[in-house]
């Protein structure tokens, strides 16, 4: 009961002090508000960016290996990307993807793909620089593609080079406005294709990629449109592991099969890259650590300035209420009562400033989310962080003024001017 009464009286004193000194309180809280806004907004943006990137990476598959000519990242232990080592490598081939599926024990499926840009025409409407993905039928399983209307092309259609296509939602919207695109015809590089499927709309990922603007056609049909034997256009073999297969065993088997197919001697280096999502993910881990540290330092300085503002207003408050403190002590108030009274007041001031800062961040997240394609969310964790930081700063800023108030001599305090 004593603690409840103490808390209630301290809060009453705090709010009375706020109402009595509105301008001074506003200026003092401004520092905490800016500080919390700075540090929590950085954490919020970083968390949202990290969540978006990790969701995008998860779409590539954590149990996947991408065999390509070019590695995604510099070699381990190196900071520069030695492109000159890779430029003369051969590109992966369709036959290699088929051999991997045939020989491997850890592989569930493998797909061959590459992409190129073309103008696409449907009737009098056309779209420029559309990404056309030439793939094998296995891509449907490897990437878990989500076809909303129609279907994906079959193995037979892929082998026979059938002129069929599966398109993204934006392609349907722009080329076949107000119409169902299924069974309609479009032209790519003079070749007619019948639309047999439309992907479910997904929007852009954190890297700006989207299936909504892509067209998937048979890799065999695309060989009449692009010379992949003599050109590097990003030919890639996407390999999906069987469930519960050890990642190191999976990678080692793929590496062994590729070295056998390429007839590499034991002393020769790989002339292909085995790319994994974990390679990019580990790079981003370091990036986010540095970014979080930088945000904490920048916001920390703002919080420090706000703390000094709270300490200043508390010293002034102690000075103004010296007589009241003397009367309280003469009536039997203990030192800890006076100490906690002013510490509670400082914490209340700081938490109010923190709440205002969090409110501004929340408003900002709504504006950004609804005005752009980047989804940003103020999480419960960051709200708790903001309130904890505010409370700690309030405690630290109020401790010295509260300590000086608690140590006042009651006789001197009562007789003070």
- Count how many Cα atoms sit within 13 Å of the Cα of residue 294 in the half-sphere of its side chain: 8
Q: Which bin fits 77, alpha (ψ -120 to 50), beta or left (φ > 0)? A: left
Confidence (pLDDT) at 217: 94
- Rounded distance between C-alpha atoms, residue 313 and residue 303, angstroms: 15
Tell me the per-residue pLDDT of 16-74, one tens digit each, with 9 for 90 and over. Answer: 766 666 766 777 777 788 888 888 888 888 788 777 766 666 555 567 889 999 888 77
Query: What is the per-residue pLDDT across 190-221, written as a single tens digit (0 to 9) for each?
Result: 899 999 999 988 876 655 567 888 999 999 99
Q: Angle CA(251)–CA(243)–CA(156) in degrees, nearest 5?
A: 90
The per-residue pLDDT for 21 is 67
- Kindly give, in sequence order, each residue whose CB lies less than 8 Å from that of residue 183, ignoring residues fewer than 6 positions away: 194, 195, 196
Going 81 to 116 to 95 to 280, the CA torsion angle's sign is: positive
CB 38 within 8 A of CB 302: yes
Q: Is the pTM of this model over 0.85?
A: no
Ranges under pLDDT 70 in the chain: 1-4, 6-7, 9-11, 13-15, 17-21, 23-24, 53-62, 77, 204-209, 278-285, 320-322, 325, 328-333, 336, 373, 409-413, 415-417
CA angle 48, 49, 51 (to 5 degrees): 65
Domain ranges across the chain: 2-57+282-414, 90-271
pLDDT of res. 84 = 85
In contact, 16 and 324? CB cutoff 8 Å: no
């Amino acid at each position: 009961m004593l603690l409840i009464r103490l808390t209630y009286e301290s809060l009453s004193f705090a709010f009375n002090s706020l109402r009595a000194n509105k301008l001074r309180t506003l200026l003092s809280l401004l520092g905490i508000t800016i500080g919390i806004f700075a540090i929590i907004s950085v954490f919020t943006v970083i968390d949202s960016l990290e969540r978006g990137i990790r969701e995008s990476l998860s779409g590539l598959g954590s149990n996947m290996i991408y065999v390509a000519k070019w590695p995604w990242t510099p070699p381990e232990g190196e900071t520069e990307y030695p492109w000159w080592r890779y430029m003369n490598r051969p590109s992966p081939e369709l036959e290699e993807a088929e051999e991997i599926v045939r020989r491997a024990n850890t592989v569930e499926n493998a797909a061959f793909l590459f992409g190129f840009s073309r103008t696409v025409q449907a009737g009098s409407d056309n779209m420029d620089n559309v990404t056309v993905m030439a793939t094998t039928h296995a891509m449907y399983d490897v990437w878990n593609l989500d076809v909303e209307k129609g279907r994906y092309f079959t193995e037979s259609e892929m082998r026979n080079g059938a002129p069929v296509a599966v398109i993204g939602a934006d392609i349907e919207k722009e080329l076949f406005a107000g119409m169902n695109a299924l069974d309609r015809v479009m032209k790519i590089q003079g070749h007619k294709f019948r639309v047999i499927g439309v992907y479910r709309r997904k929007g852009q990922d954190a890297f700006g990629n989207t299936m909504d603007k892509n067209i998937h056609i048979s890799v065999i049909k695309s060989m009449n449109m692009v010379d992949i034997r003599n050109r590097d256009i990003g030919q890639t073999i996407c390999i999906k592991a069987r469930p519960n297969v050890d990642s190191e065993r999976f990678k080692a088997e793929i590496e062994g099969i590729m070295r056998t197919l390429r007839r590499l001697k034991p002393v020769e280096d790989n002339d292909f890259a085995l790319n994994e999502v974990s390679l990019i993910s580990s790079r981003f881990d370091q990036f986010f650590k540095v970014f979080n540290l930088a945000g904490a330092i920048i916001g920390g300085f703002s919080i420090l300035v706000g703390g000094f503002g709270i300490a200043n207003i508390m010293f002034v408050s102690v000075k103004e209420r010296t007589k009241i403190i003397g009367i309280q002590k003469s009536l039997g108030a203990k030192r800890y009562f006076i100490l906690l009274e002013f510490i509670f007041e400082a914490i209340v001031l700081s938490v109010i400033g923190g709440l205002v800062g969090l409110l501004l961040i929340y408003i900002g997240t709504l504006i950004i989310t609804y005005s752009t394609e980047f989804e940003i969310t103020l999480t419960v964790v960051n709200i708790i962080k903001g309130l904890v930081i505010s409370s700690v700063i309030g405690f630290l800023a109020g401790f010295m003024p509260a300590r000086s108030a608690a140590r006042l001599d009651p006789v001197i305090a009562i007789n003070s001017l």
